[in-house]
Structure formats: C-alpha cells, structure tokens
Amino acid sequence: MAQIGTGTIRGTVTDEQGAAVAGATVTLTNPATGTTRTQTTNEAGTFSFTGVPAATYTLKVEATNFKVYEQPDIRARVDGSTTVGVVLSVGEATETVTVTGSGSEAIVNRQDASIGNTIAQRQILELPLAARNIAGLLSLQPGVAPDGSVSGSRSDQGNITLDGVDINEQQNNSAFAPVLRTSPESVEEFRVTVSNPNANQGRSSGAQISLVTKSGTNEFHGSAFFFHRPTIGNAGNWFTNAIGQRTPRVLQNVFGGAIGGPIVKDRFFFFYNYEGRRDRSQQSVLRVVPLPHLGRGELRFNAVNAATGAPVGIRTLTAAQISQAFPALAAAGGGSALNPAAVAYLAQAASRYPANDAGAGDGVNTGGFRFNAPTPFDFNAHIGRLDWKVDNAGRHTLFARANVQYDVQTQTSFFPDTPAQRLWSHPVGIAAGYTWNISNRWTNVFRYGLTRFATSQQGDTAQNFINFRFVFQPTFNARTLDRIVPTHNFTNDTTYVFGDHTFQFGTNIRIIRNRRTGFGQAFDFGVINPIFYAQSLTAPINTFAVNNLGLAIQPGRAVPVRDAVNALIGRINQYTVFLTYDQQGRLLPAGTPTERSFAAEEYDFYFQDIWRIRPNLTLTYGIRYGLSRPVYEQNGFQAGTNIPLGDFLRGRAIGAAQGRPFNDLITIRLAGPANGGDPLYQFAYNNWQPRVAIAWTPDFKEGFWGKLFGTRQQSVFRAGFALTNDYFGQQIAVQFDQRNTLGFVQQQQTSFAQFRLTGPPFAPLFTAQGQNFRNFPGINPLPQLRFPLTQPDDGQQRIEQSIDQTTRLPRSFSWNFSYGRELPGGLFFEASYIGRLGRNLLAQRDVMALNNLVDPRTGVDWYTAAGQLEDLRRNNTPISQIPNIPYFNNILFPGILANLFAGFGGIQAGMTNSQAIYAMLQNPSAWGLLGPADWTTVQLILNNSPRPGGYGISGISPLGEDLFFHPQYGALNTIGSFGTSDYHGLAITVRQRYKNYLTWDFNYTFSKSLDDASGLQTAGFFGGGGFVLNPFRQRDNRAVSNFDLRHVINANFVVQLPFGRGRAFFGNVSRLVDAFIGGWQLGGIARYNSGRVAGAATGDGTAYATNWQVPSNAVRIRQISSSPTRGNNPNLFRDPVFASQSFRSARPGETGERNIFRFPGFANLDASLAKSFTMPWSENQSLQFRWEVFNVTNFQPFDGVQTLATPTDPFRSQPLPNFGRLTSVQNPPRFMQFVLRYVF
C-alpha cells in the first residue's frame, strides 16, 4: 500500500499437488477487535486483502472437499505486503487444520524490490533506548549512515508519516527528526524503506519512514513506566578526565503511561498515551580564550635565531615594542598601537575564563577553557486515538488521532556566566482517516492531517555583536527566531483487484505555510579580523624582531602572532550593518525583526499495477507525478535577479574563454506572485517518476536446485529501478531572504583591504560590546527603497549570496538486485546490490568566480600562466631566472608594471611583467597580499579597474576593464541544481523471528559514495560541504561524500531466556520458583562503522589561489593517511610534521583535495537485562525491572580536529602546534538507565 500506514495480506491457495484452488472462501479476522473481511480466490487461486491496518490476524480458508485451513498470528506490515502460501488438504469441511507460520512471513518481501526492514512492537518496547527516543531505532536498517543518509541520498530527503499523514519538519527536515515525537508506547510498528520505493511512495529520494499509532482493542490494555538515568555508574568524557574535571552531572527521568480499550465492543475503541521527560544534566563544553599575557598587552611568538634559523623557544614582546612595529597606528593612537579598551576586554576574558585545556587555542596566545554547562529539559507529549467500525460488516471504518507537545529545552551557554539559548516548542498534530471497503475488489483510503510546528529559538544576545576572530567570542551571537509552520495534508489511495492485477492510484496534497519572526538581521555585527587588512600583521612584528632582537618568527608559526596582534590592536576592520525595510520601502529602526510568511503547495499523483504474472512471479510497475509550486512569500517580501545566475555564470565562462570579460550588471527586481513577478525558481512540470520492480520466488521441488534455493518458494529474487526527485524550497527561500542583500533586508559592509595599518584610513576602535556601527565609514543607509535596485559597480568586491532561478528538481536514479533465502527456525538471509546516480543535486557555487581569462593570441589561460609562476615561486627560483611568459605581455601592456612601480615592492625598472608579478609574490605585505600564495589578490591588482573605490590599477590592459573581477561583486555564492553523485553498495541482512522467544536483526553494508558537493539545504553559504570552489572546474571538487562510510554494521536483539514456566528448561516449576528463574530477558543494539570523513588539509587563511572568499585546500605531494593516536595530546596523525609536510599550496585554479582523511572507526554496544514478574492476581499483568547500559565498553573513539590548517608551502615549514589535534569523542561515555514498567 501507499505510505498510509496500512498493509496487504495476499497469497495463493493450492491443493497438495500444487494445483490452484479457485472459489475458496478466505476470511481475515483481527481477533483483538473482531474485524472480519472475506474474499473468494480467483482462477489462479490467489487472494489479496488491501488497506489492512497493521495488526496480527487469523486467516481462515474454506473450500468444497477440503479441510478448513486456519493460520493465526499473521502480521500485516506497515506499508508492506505479507505473502501466505495456503495448502489445503482433502477432507471433510468439518475438520480444521491449524498451521503455525515459520515467523518469517512478515519479514520476507515477495512482492517488490524495495529495501528496508519493519521494526516490530516488541523491538520498539524492549530494545534499550536512551531517553526512549524512537529515532534511535530508525537507523537499524541496511545502508543507513549515522547522519541519516540512506543508500547515497542526502540526509534531508527523508519522508516521515504517522498514520499516513505527513509529520516532516518542512524547513530543515533533519533526518529522523519529525515534528511530532512518537513514544514507544504509542507505536504499533514502523517501516523504513531505504531504496527503490514503489510509485505509491517516495516524495523524495531519502528514507521513507512509516509509523503507525496503536489502536484500542476489545480488552483493556495499558502500561505505566518510569525510566531513571542518574550520574551513578556513568563514565567520564576522555577529555574531561584528562584535565581532572568532574564528570558532568546527569539526572534524567522519563515517565508516563498508556491505556487502550473498547468504548463499544467490536465497534468503537480508544487509545491514550502520555510521556514526560525531565532532565537536569550537564554537558562538557570547550571554548577558545585569550591567555593572561594578552590582557597585559603582551604578545608571544615561536622564535628562531634570525641568523641561523635555530629555534629558541617562545619569546614575548611588550606593548611598547608592538607599538614600535606599527608606528602609524601608534601615532594615531596617541603613542600606542594597542587599543586600551580591547586589551582590558581581553584581560577580563582571561580572568573570567582561565585556560584549562590544550584542546583549543594555539597554545601560544590562546588556550582552551572547558566547563560543564547545565542543559535542563522539560518535555511533555500527549497522544490520543479513536477508531470506529461504522457498520457490522466492517466496510466503513474511521479513525482520529491527536498529538500535543509542550517542550522547553535549555541549550549550552557559551560561557558559564553568559545567557543560555532556550528552545520552546509546542507542536500539535491531528489526523483523521476513512477506509471504505467498497467491495471485495475495491478499497479506498482517505487521510487528512494537520501538523502544526510552533517553536521559539530564544537567542543569547540582543545587541550589536563584535567578535575577536580566532581569539575570543563572548556568546553564540544567536538571535531569537519564532516559527509557526502548519502543514495540511490530504491523501487518497484507491485499490482495485482485477484477476491477477492489483491496480492502485491516488494523490497526496500538501499545503505548507511557514510564518517567521526573526531577529537575526535586527542587529549589526563586526569582526576584528586578522585577514581583512590591506597589509600583513606579521611582517612588521617579524621585521622589528629581526632588527631589534636578532630573532624571527619561526616558519609556519605566524598565525598565532597574526591573530593575537590583531586582537591587541583592537580595530573593527570588518562590519556589517543590516537595514530592514517595510513593504513600502521605508527604513525601519535598528532592532526591528523581519516578519515573513512563506508558502508552498505540493501535488503528487501516482498509478501502479501489481501484476501476479504467476503465483511465484510478481511485476510491480507504475509512475508518479509531482508538481510543486515554487516557495513564495505571501506578503510580497520577495525579490530576484534580472538574469538567471546560472546563465550569468555561463556568460562569464564564455567571455573569459574569448578573452573578453563579461561584466553585465545584475539588477534586483520585485518577484513572486504577490508582486506579479517571476518565481524564486521555475515550476518543474516534467516531474515524471517511473518505477518498476520484479520479484520471483522459484518453486523447485527436489534435486540440486531444490537443495540450493529451497522448496516451496523459500528463495526470492528481486530487482527494481526507481526515478525519484528531491523536494526543496522552504529552506532555500529562507536562506535567500536572509542573505539577499538587495531585497527588503539590505547589508552595508566593509570590503576587503578597506582599512590599512601603515596609514589612513584606520579601522574604527573597539569600545565595548553593543557599540553603534551606523556612524562608521562607508555606512550610508537609504531612507527609501525603490525597485529595481542595482548594486553599485564600484569595484568594492562585495561578498553576497543568492539563488539560481534555473534551479531544477534534483533527481536520483536508483536500482537494486536482491537474493533472499528463508531458512529453518524463522531465519531469513538477504543480499542486495544497491546503486544510485544523483543528478541536478543542490549545491553552491560562486557565479562571480574570478575569470580564467584566456589570451586570445596564444590560447593560454590564467590558470596555466599563473601556475607556471607559482611553480617557480614554490621552487624558490631567483627572479633573474623567471622567463618572459607571453601571456602576461598579451593581457597587459608589455613592461607596464615596471614602468608604473619601479622601486616599489621589489619591482625594478626593466623587469618583464612576469618578473614584476613574481616580485609581488616575494613581497606580499607591500602589495596587500595575505601571503605568497594569495593569487586572487594578485588578480585584483591586475584587474584594470578604473574606479576610484577599486583596489587595483587602471590603464594596464588592452583587453578592457575588470579583467578578473566583476565590478559589483567579489563573490556571489549561489544555490543551484548542478551537483552529481554516485553510490554503489552491497547490503546483507539476516533476520530471525523464532516464536516469541527470539527476535534479532543484523545489517551489514559495504559501500562507496562519490560526489562533487555533499551539502544540505541547511548548509551555511560558502561552506557546509556543499560549496564547489571552482565552478569552471567542478570535477576537481569530486571526492568521497562527506557521509561516505566504507563499512556499516548494525544489529539488535531481544531474547527471552528459556527458563521458567512454559519454557524449554524448568517449564513445570511452581510460581514461586518461576518468580526467581523465569521472566529473564536480554536485549541490545550494536553498531559499528569504519572511520567517517575528517576533511582535508586546508590553508592557513592566506592561500586564496582560486576563489576570492574561500581559500583552496592543500594538495598532496606524497601519500598520507590518518592514523589517529591517543595519549596526552591525541592526534589525527601519528607524525603531524610528516603529515603537514606532505602537502603543497594550491596553484591558481586548483581546488585542492577534499575529504582525504578519516576519523577512527566507531563502535558501540547498548545492552539491557530485564526481569519480569507475573502478578499473582492475574497472568495478564506483569511488572518488569530493566537495567540498561549504553556504551557498555565505554569505547570513546576520537572526533573533532582542532585544525588542519597548513602554512604556505607546508612541505618546507613546521605545522602549527595544534595541527591534527583531536578535541572530542564520537560516542557519549558509558551511562546507565533503570526502568520500571507495569503492563496490564
């Protein structure tokens, strides 16, 4: 069935010779509610009950001249099919043959090619679950990565339904995190499809998760429970233990109960569940803080003898010495280059938060401060359901469900005495359904649901914010955000059985609204940024040390100096002012929140046929069509570009290839239906998604094939193909609204190198947190907006974000081949090959990527010519040996640089252009380069920009103006659908259902996933794994996916020990003895995966070889892999120096390598031991005590690298002291949970 929470029970009736029995009467009964349905087998002897609620049924078959066949305990699977083979024996109709199933019927898929397991109620209730969070069970499937990615899909492409109704969080859609929390007591069972859904499923390409709420029955049943998690028995985090800090306090209680029963017997039932949670726990937190000497105005650095280069240890410069190194700043500051307010602020920070952990900071001027932060939770959830069998025949049934939650969660504070963020959440969900069994052939199921997500993320600051970058940040700078997101969901599914065909068709409609009130752009922020000045911060310090102390900064150790001296100077050289306007374009006061109301509608339709070609051969084929309206802002707060940015990028690429820069200006105009404008992205009318699957269960009798594949359909071969599309919109619309600086919220900000260190203009001084920025240089708010708007073409290298209007629906082509074998004792084995190709995936790129300008005369491009110079620089080639490269004589006037700059920055008269550019690389501080590999600043100098505000020089090129940079933007990050991925995997599943004693599953996946971007819709701009650094060479970004794992194993088990009354051993003992030896149970969940991706070697923030905003990664010059160590300072590498020196800086145009390192592998075992007591007054009531231990072995594999930054030319430099240092653990330390559960 479709994703509506019901299932199908089907089968074939034969005689003992295998001949089909037509005309047999088949009756399906739910003994708990008295519901009965009847069918008659067709000529092929087949029957099919569709739209069957998940429950346990009894099947009865009657035919003339045959004994009555009866099989109890047949399970209808959620959104699945259960196949029953009925063999009638010749005899009188007064005789009954009762058959007990093997236990594997409900876990063997004999109908289609979908991959995924059903988790039964027993597993849900008895497996150890931390805080009873059912999300911990959703990943117990093959092909599931820890982040929620399944079989190569993106983790934000899952689809979760409860009773057939959408409960997704429509904006963020985090994996396994629906809006409505489902208690284990309330869930009948659930199924997760990880690959190849049929046409009746698959809103998206990720996991399809179907949960079903319990219903009442003719008997009153219920439970009461209390789960207690204390500090006792808990282990400490490895890092808190290492510094002797006390284990964070843990106190967590989860409590509640459930009850269900009849209102009117056989007709009207109810179910209710309440669950509460109270946490008074702590979490270990690590922050970067300044060391005390910074608060005294002192600077420390790793020094070497200037003459010999021999290391001499750490040396200190006083405030007076620092001022001598920066005479212009000292003159402007009344004799001191240091900002007294900044120094006092750093002193206060160092005093309040004394460094106590080497796991953060550079160890020279900054350190780590670790503390235990309280994280109290108060959760409450109510779930109620009513079921009504309208008529005695059971042709009409209705249900209604309601969910109400009220949660308050306090998150970690940034420091012990700063405000903590609080998350208030009050989601509500209602659902109603009507099932109409029109006839034995026709079934119609209708569902309506409203899932209303209401939340308030209360921030930790409500004023202008200033960050001392890399040295000290006082808070998260989190702003309050309120959201109300109602989703109306209408579904209708119709099934018609005609002979050997089961036709299904239906629709799924979603109406989504997203009302937001956010303060994220209500206040301004500034950064004291060490990499935003026009000159180097370290060169003056090094020059002073050489000339006055005979010392120099140790090669590769300049970053701690750069960051610390920047903090002491204390000038806000990068700031952004947010300007909020109303619908009439009027400027609103600072502190005004932005209010938006986004909307979207989705319409899905499908048709499919389940064709039983033969009793043991089933073909399932169908097609799904989806039409999603682009997300829009209902009140008209929507704007867009005049040209699709994908087309704009193609224009830049064509122009650069022809040697003529493409510099058309971009204009912002009103958009969206409220303004009669274009949509945010285009409608996808061609959204057809075909699906096909075949399942064959060979029926060998005897002989070799019978021994190999079993008899009576014990084996099943399955294969399938599915085209699925990803859904998107809400998150992209929100991101675009927040980041589009020429809409109704504008940004005015500084540009790179706007402020100087050697002379005016100087950046404004820091005075205190919350200071006003609106009187700072360059801030000129427009009092009135009038569209269309055009960003000035003043060469200011603005860094902004947008969306490509040509964005299309991402697509996944998936296929699989499976072989399964049913074995004795309810055991089932299956092996599957799963493949997936992702195309048009969402990713980010910079449409203002600097032109790879081609010389029209030689056909040589910038990457090639500049790459030649970079190779010469890396080899320390003398400037006299630099060849005269024709490219630089053709894109520039020959000798122009020497003519203009002779005597400055290393350039001498008579130098060729190639030599002059080489001189710039050798004297980076004189030219405003961040370092000798800062090629994008070289491009800025050579940009031939005539604008007074531009950084470069003009009149130097015959090819025109703005050779490399667009005059409006330095970088324009854009979301679009251009990503690709490939996934191939082998999945092995072994499952067993043996009577009521033993239940276990084992899943192993061996796979590899490749892509050129792994980011989600929620990923931050210019990063988050989704940014393609060089859009002109997208293939260079291709690597293993961020979520790639070579090996993944998960297993779970619940086993009742075979001792006591009714068991294999001591089955006849007295009740008293049974109270001691009977009722024991073991349960557990085991997980293992090989190391997940840890990233790659990055630059130190100076190697901007290719992109203006994002530095390139380093490039390997020899093989190196991660080999994590433990000890006092655990590291990702056994030899960090060797690892760092295995790389070189990227050449112009190079992206560098991505995702080449891995963390240690992960392993975990959660286990439980339970003892149940049957109450002396009733065998239907029991009391269970359970002891649950999480991370039994207390295995804490390391995680979190402090830095992978390498210096320029790392192959001949020493790495930073914290290079590769590991700072956290993947697995929480061991903890225990004690359970008391009463069942009646």
* Number of neighbouring beta carbons within 10 Å of residue 883: 12
By the 8 A CB rule, do 99 and 971 touch? no
pTM of the model: 0.90
Residue 1 has pLDDT above 60, yes or no: no
Task: Report the alpha-carbon distance of residue 381 to residue 408 in Å, rounded.
Answer: 12
pLDDT at 228: 95
Q: What burial letters (b/e) apply to 599-638, b meaning 16+ CB within 10 Å?
A: bbbbbbebbbbbbbeebbbbbbbbebbbebbbbbbbebbb
Which residue is listed with tokens 């800090």? 245
By the 8 A CB rule, do 722 and 694 touch? no
Residue 3 has pLDDT above 70, yes or no: no
Sign of CA dihedral 945, 946, 952, 953: positive
pLDDT at 1128: 80
pLDDT at 180: 94
Give percent of the chain with pLDDT exceeding 70. 98
Mean pLDDT of the chain: 91
By the 8 A CB rule, do 373 and 412 touch? yes
Task: Report the alpha-carbon distance of residue 977 to residue 974 in Å, rounded.
Answer: 10
Task: Report the alpha-carbon distance of residue 881 to residue 972 in Å, rounded.
Answer: 39
Q: What's the rounded mean pLDDT across residues 993-1011?
A: 92
Among residues 630, 578, 644, 640, the alpha carbon closest in space to that of 779 is found at 578
For the chain, the distance separating the N- and C-terminal CA atoms, rounded to the nearest angstrom, is 32
pLDDT at 106: 66
The tokens describing 180, both together, are 């409505």
Q: What's the rounded mean pLDDT across residues 1206-1212?
A: 88
Task: Report the alpha-carbon distance of residue 800 to residue 740 in Å, rounded.
Answer: 7
Pick the range with the lowest mean pLDDT from 13-27, 94-108, 1052-1066.
94-108
Q: Which residues pair with 1219 in a beta bridge?
A: 1203
Residue 1108 has pLDDT above 70, yes or no: yes
| pLDDT class of 742 with cuts at 50, 70, 90 | low
Q: What's the rounded mean pLDDT across residues 352-358?
A: 94
Task: Report the alpha-carbon distance of residue 373 to residue 413 in Å, rounded.
Answer: 7
Task: Report the alpha-carbon distance of residue 587 to residue 1076 in Å, rounded.
Answer: 76
By the 8 A CB rule, do 213 and 432 touch? no
Q: How many separate helices (H) and strands (E) can be counted in the chain?
A: 18, 60
Sign of CA dihedral 234, 237, 241, 243: negative
Residue 709 has pLDDT above 90, yes or no: no
The C-alpha R_g of the chain, in whole angstroms, comes to 34
Strand 68-75 relative to strand 96-98, pairing: parallel
Which residue is listed with tokens 């903890």? 1231
Task: Report the alpha-carbon distance of residue 1136 to residue 1122 in Å, rounded.
Answer: 10
Task: Tell me 210's DSSP state.
Answer: E
- Structural domains of the chain, ranges and CATH numbers in brackets: 6-107 (2.60.40.10), 288-372+541-568 (no CATH), 862-964 (no CATH)
Strand 428-436 relative to strand 420-425, pairing: unpaired
Could you tell me which residue, 34 or 526, shows the higher pLDDT? 526
pLDDT at 1023: 74
pLDDT at 1016: 81
The tokens describing 1064, both together, are 């294999």
Give percent of the chain with pLDDT exceeding 90. 69
Among residues 69, 143, 67, 71, the alpha carbon closest in space to that of 106 is found at 71
CA distances from 809 to 139, 856, 976, 978 (A): 26, 38, 10, 10
Strand 594-614 relative to strand 632-633, pairing: antiparallel
Residue 193 has pLDDT above 80, yes or no: yes
CA distances from 252 to 211, 226, 408, 762, 1237 (A): 26, 11, 14, 54, 16
By the 8 A CB rule, do 1201 and 1129 touch? no
Q: What's the rounded mean pLDDT across residues 1201-1213?
A: 88
Peptide bond into 761 cis (omega under 30): yes
pLDDT at 400: 97
pLDDT at 740: 64
Q: What's the rounded mean pLDDT across residues 182-211?
A: 90
The tokens describing 696, both together, are 């064959």
pLDDT at 147: 86
The tokens describing 517, both together, are 């009130």
pLDDT at 950: 54
The contacts found for 1171-1175 with CB under 8 angstroms, 24 or more apart, are: 1171/1079, 1171/1080, 1171/1081, 1172/1079, 1172/1081, 1173/1075, 1173/1079, 1174/1071, 1174/1074, 1174/1079
Please write the tens of the pLDDT for every residue from 787-818. 998 988 888 888 888 899 999 999 999 999 99
Q: What's the rounded mean pLDDT across residues 1180-1206?
A: 93
Pick the range with the lowest mean pLDDT from 173-182, 284-293, 382-391, 681-690.
173-182
pLDDT at 137: 82
Q: What burial letters (b/e) apply to 1188-1204, b meaning 16+ CB within 10 Å?
A: bbbbbebbbbbbbbbbb
Residue 480 has pLDDT above 90, yes or no: yes
Q: Who contacts 441 (Cβ-Cβ below 8 Å, separation ≥6)? A: 496, 497, 498
By the 8 A CB rule, do 427 and 403 touch? yes
Q: What's the rounded mean pLDDT across residues 1100-1107?
A: 84
| pLDDT class of 647 with cuts at 50, 70, 90 | very high
pLDDT at 103: 58
By the 8 A CB rule, do 964 and 942 touch? yes
Structure-derived torsion over alpha carbons of residues 827, 828, 829, 834, reported in degrees to the nearest 10? -150
Query: Burial, 205: exposed, middle or buried (Cβ in 10 Å; 0-12, 13-18, 19+)?
Result: buried
By the 8 A CB rule, do 328 and 753 touch? no
CA distances from 1027 to 103, 149, 323, 740, 1172 (A): 49, 19, 40, 17, 54
Among residues 1023, 1040, 1035, 1025, the alpha carbon closest in space to that of 1107 is found at 1023
Task: Report the alpha-carbon distance of residue 681 to residue 662 in Å, rounded.
Answer: 24
Could you tell me which residue, 825 or 403, shows the higher pLDDT? 403
CA distances from 1063 to 103, 1068, 1175, 1186 (A): 18, 8, 18, 20
Residue 949 has pLDDT above 70, yes or no: no
pLDDT at 741: 62
Q: What's the rounded mean pLDDT across residues 353-358?
A: 94
Q: Angle 334-336-342 (CA atoms, 0-180°, nearest 5)?
A: 110
By the 8 A CB rule, do 838 and 810 touch? yes
DSSP element (H, E) containing 866: helix 862-874
What phi, psi does 539 have (nearest 5°)?
-60, -45
Task: Report the alpha-carbon distance of residue 558 to residue 255 in Å, rounded.
Answer: 55
Which residue is listed with tokens 């033993």? 998
The tokens describing 289, both together, are 């803080």
Task: Report the alpha-carbon distance of residue 1003 to residue 834 in Å, rounded.
Answer: 14
pLDDT at 175: 78
Residue 108 has pLDDT above 70, yes or no: yes
Task: Report the alpha-carbon distance of residue 96 to residue 210 in Å, rounded.
Answer: 37
pLDDT at 739: 64
Can you spell out the DSSP letters for 283-334? EEEEEEEE-GGGGGT-EEEEEEETTT--EEEEEEE-HHHHHHH-HHHHHHTT
Please write the tens of the pLDDT for every residue from 908-944. 999 999 999 999 999 988 888 888 889 999 999 999 8
